[in-house]
Homo-oligomer: A and B are copies of this chain.
């Protein structure tokens, strides 16, 4: 009997926003795995630290910081091989994923490499999307409104084409693109409806009007544009 691979969403940052199921599975796992940048702490591991069992084996998958695919693929190949060894030995492995495993989560790279060979269960988590909305006090969508989620690195033409028609826009992965994104949203007449949130649900969280947001912004930040949500029913 092989072990089970759990892809566990640990939520947006506040450890208390882990689900009961995430806390149970992580606490029971003899092996935990997580991706990490070289020389950095794993954010997912930090969130889950208090529920990891003492003595659990940890598989840190060191993913190089590069836009080239080859080195990252090699890192996930290697991480998947180490996880496979544990699963073949009958041990369950909990892979820690900030937010949700399938919402811009790197767990999907392990899922693609392992799901045809081992039992895998994905445990959904609270995403940064709804965490930022909660912190900003901005309802995302109601009734028949549409929501568009866009990564900030998309070029202006692609972003602009997707700005229309949706009542609510969320722009993730803002980082060094903040200056360009501000100019784009101003030009499109959307800046007044836009709010900036960084490190939502952590002690150091901040929310600001878009035009006061820092440039560059930190990686864990988001722009919410709520044009339509009409909470008055």
Contacts and interface: CB of A to CB of B under 8 A. Distances in A.
Interface of A: 9, 11-12, 14-21, 23-24, 69, 72-73, 76, 100-105, 108-109, 111-112, 115, 120, 122-127, 130-131, 133-134, 137-151, 153-154, 158, 161-162, 165-166, 173, 201, 229, 231-233
21 contacts: A18-B19, A100-B130, A101-B134, A102-B130, A102-B138, A103-B130, A103-B133, A103-B140, A108-B229, A112-B231, A115-B137, A122-B134, A122-B137, A124-B130, A126-B126, A145-B151, A146-B151, A147-B148, A148-B149, A149-B149, A162-B165
A100 B127 CA distance: 10
Contacts of A115: 137
Contacts of A153: 144
B124 A134 contact: yes
Given A134-B123, A143-B151, A166-B162, A232 B109 contact: yes
